[in-house]
Amino acid sequence: MSDTEPFSSGSSDIYQPPVYKSCSTSSDDDGSDVGLLTFQNQTNEANDKGMNILDEFNIDNPCPSTSGIAPKKRKSANPSQWKRNVIKKSIVTGKGYLNYKGREIGERKTGPDCCCKKYKCFVKINEEDRKLILENFNKLEETYVQNVYLGGLIKTENVERERSKTGTGKKRSCSHKYYIKLGNRNIQICRNGFASIHGISKKRVDNVAKEYQDPTVTKPAQSNRGKHHNC
C-alpha cells in the first residue's frame, strides 16, 4: 500500500498543474495531437478575425491556379422560382398571376359565345364539354405542346383562288377548318368559337393555322418563329 500511496501522490503531482488545463490540455497528449489542436485553434481564430488561412497555404503552393481547391460555394440556382419563369408558366397553363407591374391577371377562361348561325358552336359544345376542353388544354404545360394540339384540330386546305378584278385584292391560297374532338366525334366549329373555347386569342389561332399551312408538315417549324409569311 505504501507503493500505491506515493504513486497516487505522484499522480496527484502530475495532475497538479491543472492550472495549465485550460490552455494546454493537449500538452499531456502526443505531439501530433497537440499540433492538430493548436492548428484548429489557429484556424478558428483566423476565421474569427476574418482571415483566410487557406490563402497562406495557396502562397506556399507552387501553382495555386491548378491547386484544385474548389471555388466558393454559390447558392444553387432554382430557375423554376424566378419571377419571369413563374409568370411564363402561369401564362401557358392559364393560371392567374401577378404581372411585372404587380397587377393581377385572371386565369384563362372560356371566351364569349361566337353566336354564329352556321355552326352554333356553343350549342354543339355544351358548357360541361367546354370546361373539360379548357381544363385539358391548360394541362399541357408548354406553348409548343399546346400548339401541336391545336394544330391537330385545324385542317388546312389549299384553295386556288384569285379574286381580284383590279389586281389589288388579296390572293388566298388556303383555308382552315376548325374542329373540336369530343370522344370519337370531330365537330366542326368556327374560328371564333375555336378561340373562345380554348380561351386564346384569334391571333394565336391564326398563327397556329399558318404554321400548319402545309398539310405535309406534321409539326410547326420552331425556327420559323417570328418570320411572317402571308397565307
Residues in the chain: 231
Is 220 a binder of Zn ion (CB under 5 A)? no
Q: Looking at 36-44, 88-96, 120-128, 155-163, which segment touches Zn ion (CB under 5 A)?
A: 120-128
Q: How many CB atoms lie within 10 A of CB 54?
A: 13
Least Å from the CB of residue 113 to Zn ion: 8
Q: To the nearest 5 percent, what fractions of the chain are helix, strand and coil? A: 50, 15, 40
- Minimum CB separation from Zn ion for residue 166, in Å? 32
Contact with Zn ion (CB under 5 A): which of 121, 125, 197, 209?
121
Query: Which of residues 133, 180, 190, 195 is near Zn ion by CB under 5 A?
Result: 190
- The minimum distance between CB 123 and Zn ion, in angstroms, equals 9
Evaluate whether 37 touches 45 at the Cβ level (below 8 Å).
no
Which of 47, 70, 193 lies closest to 133, judged by CA? 193
The answer to whether 114 contacts Zn ion (rule: CB under 5 A) is yes
Chain position carrying cell 366542326:
188
Q: How far is the CB of 188 from Zn ion (least distance, A)?
A: 10
Q: Does 150 bind Zn ion (CB under 5 A)?
A: no
Q: How far is the CB of 82 from Zn ion (least distance, A)?
A: 39
Q: Applying CB under 5 A, does 193 fall inside the site for Zn ion?
A: yes
For CA atoms 50, 53, 56, 62, give the dihedral sign: negative
- 205 with 137: CB under 8 angstroms? no
For binding to Zn ion (CB under 5 A), which residues are involved? 114, 116, 119, 121, 190, 193
